[in-house]
Amino acid sequence: MELFARDRQKAFQALVGLYARPLYGYIRRMLVDHDDTDDVLQNTLIKAWENMGSLKQSAALPAWLYRIATHETMDFLSERARRQHVPLDGVDLADPQEIEQAVESDDTLGARTLAAIQSLPKVQQAVFTMKHFEGLKYREISQITGTSEGALKASYHIALEKIKAFLREKPSND
């Protein structure tokens, strides 16, 4: 924050250098589309730039940035009319790497897995993404969302159960 007080532009460039990639990954997992992700990331960084003076402690910076990214992503999803719903099954939800690989692959399983995650309510989708893909601890997610750790744990486990149910109910169209 001292750097920001001395040289706003240099501080912002440092912020972008450190956080643009992880924020992009976080947003992309919820939006999928590269162009949409770029737009939301740009809006996130613009809001961070405009409100940088309101941040009191540099230790709170990551949570603050993820909170902005979460709000921007939720706003984008609220405004977007279309939603993908693809049948799902066959993913071991106990294995984060399997989900990660399925989502990042171009195969049917990847598309179906991603659709399962996107079928969640927005808040559960954000909590699931932060916990499962970003590896954030409930304490960190609590700082980002302003929600209690207990509520976040419940939200994550409900999301996990909904994904499992969705996978069981919607067989593959092979």
**Per-residue pLDDT, 164:** 81
Same-domain status, 107 and 159: yes
Q: Which of 15, 44, 79 is the last residue of a domain?
A: 79
Structure tokens at 108: 């049917």
Statement: residue 94 has pLDDT above 60: no
Give how many domains the chain has, as a whole number: 2
pLDDT digits (tens, 9 = 90+) for 50-83: 888 777 766 678 888 999 999 898 888 777 644 4
Which of 47-61, 102-116, 135-149 is least confident? Answer: 102-116
Q: What is the DSSP letter of 107?
A: S
Q: How far apart are CA 96 and CA 86, in angstroms?
A: 20
Predicted confidence band of residue 85 (pLDDT cuts 50, 70, 90): very low
The CATH number for 100's domain is: 1.10.10.10
Q: Which residue range(s) make up the domain with 127?
A: 96-169
Structure tokens at 137: 């601890």
